[in-house]
Structure 1
């Protein structure tokens, strides 16, 4: 039971890092050539917004997996 929770935590961390790097790749790949080394704050806001949107969509399967991990727990109210 505890191993499943650790595996779910590792998968969540890896997916968040992959989503962040994928969004940075999208931003770098599709930016205008004249905007290469300037305006870092708007780029950060775009990457953060895309990451939050993707992670919020991916939280639903993680929530279902987390609920099934707690199905055989002694005290369900703590979860």
Structure 2
């Protein structure tokens, strides 16, 4: 089924005269890193390297640092299970 999907996508790209860079393509992978997220088996999680920067940060000492921390943490809120 995966091969059929790949063929279908390639056919659509060909019809649109869209060219792929073979060196940048990742095909038939079970996990990929894309735009700072790990995509695997129908789930999307933030890249652990990105979260590490947030969890290992020092305590904010100014209002501006606190604001930046809150905004960064707010982005990852959607990945926290309820």
TM bucket (normalised to shorter chain) is: under 0.3
Report 1 or 2 for greater relative contact order, CA contacts < 8 Å, sequence distance ≥ 6.
1
Q: Which protein has the bigger helix share?
A: 1
User: Rg: which structure is higher?
Assistant: 2
TM-score (norm 1): 0.28
TM-score by length of 2: 0.27
